[in-house]
Amino acid sequence: MMKVKLPVVLSIAAALGGCGPGALAPPTGGAPATSPAAMPAKVGSAMGQSPRQDSRISNEGIGPARLGMTLGQLKAVLGQTVQFRAESLYMDGFDAVAVVRAGAVQFRILHPAGRRLRDKDTLQTLVTENPAYQTAEGIGPGVALSRAESVLGKALLQYNEENESREDVSFAKQAQGSVSFTPEADGQAFAGIYGAGDSGPAFKTGRYHPSAQIRSIWVTQ
């Protein structure tokens, strides 16, 4: 299982009446979908273009999904353009509802495991691995950390052995709020390069492997 960490404390269990959330990590699995069918709109971070509103990641949400709105409201906004697919045990302690267009997952809505997300329940945690969705600065899943660093400032990668060694990355000029990032690097347990002699349980570094990139982006209330 990939060792990653979501650095934001979730509140969805309280909102939905479930038990307290455990530490979060994106699931293992294939790379984010990149086919044209997966893209809600053509975006171009390499050209410095801002993504369209229907594919924007912000403190408010991901694309048309907004924190605090109900699942029923999201269904009304999206209509018949997508499918809502339940995913059991998407990660430890949490199930998910995947929002799927043309066979490609756009983003997921997380909720406590074992309890169906109802239309009246509010959206508390959203995550995407789809590169079509980007921040206003053009940073999305699949973007190299070096590229993100050039836009958002110096990267800080970290993990804690007491939090299941789950890694996250933040940036010096990153706006405060609900958005957080998890990294990955090809063939590596961690995207960051940590000192061999460092003593835990917490580890931090500004160095990372050349293949390091953003794996997923989270928006959490």
Which residues are CB-contacts of 78 (< 8 A; sequence separation ≥ 6)? 64, 99
Higher pLDDT, 107 or 91: 107
Instruction: Please state whether beta strands 94-101 and 83-91 pair in parallel, antiparallel, or not at all (unpaired).
Output: antiparallel
Whether 7 is in a domain gets the answer no
Angle at alpha carbon of residue 170, lines to 96 and 34, rounded to 5°: 50
Q: What is the dihedral of CA 118, 121, 124, 126, to 10 degrees?
A: 40
- The pLDDT mean for the chain works out to 82
Q: List pLDDT tens digits, range 27-48.
A: 433 333 333 334 343 333 333 3
Whether 125 is in a domain gets the answer yes
CA-to-CA separations, 102 to 21, 80, 133, 199, 217, in angstroms, rounded: 31, 11, 16, 47, 21
CA-to-CA separations, 174 to 45, 136, 156, 180, 188, in angstroms, rounded: 16, 12, 11, 9, 25
Residue 79: which domain range?
12-220
Angle at alpha carbon of residue 141, lines to 109 and 186, rounded to 5°: 120
Which residues are CB-contacts of 7 (< 8 A; sequence separation ≥ 6)? 168, 170, 180
Assess whether pLDDT exceeds 70 at residue 50: no
Whether 5 is in a domain gets the answer no
Which residues are CB-contacts of 184 (< 8 A; sequence separation ≥ 6)? 2, 4, 191, 212, 213, 215
Instruction: Kindly state the percentage of the chain with pLDDT values over 90.
Output: 67
pLDDT, position 22: 33
Q: List pLDDT tens digits, range 168-177.
A: 999 999 989 9
For the chain, the domain total comes to: 1
The pLDDT confidence band at residue 212, using thresholds 50, 70 and 90, is very high
Whether 184 is in a domain gets the answer yes
Q: Are 105 and 2 in contact (CB under 8 A)?
A: no
Q: Picking from 43-47, 79-83, 86-90, which range would have the lowest pLDDT averaged per residue?
A: 43-47
pLDDT, position 40: 43
Whether 135 is in a domain gets the answer yes
Assess whether pLDDT exceeds 90 at residue 72: yes
CATH code of the domain containing 163: 2.60.460.10
Report d(CA 89, CA 109) in Å as an integer.
13
Whether 6 is in a domain gets the answer no
pLDDT, position 198: 84
Assess whether pLDDT exceeds 50 at residue 85: yes
Report d(CA 177, CA 219) in Å as an integer.
9
Q: List pLDDT tens digits, range 99-149.
A: 999 999 999 999 999 999 999 999 999 999 999 999 999 999 999 999 999
pLDDT, position 140: 98
Whether 178 is in a domain gets the answer yes
Backbone dihedral angles phi then psi of residue 117, each to the nearest 5 degrees: -75, 120
Whether 2 is in a domain gets the answer no
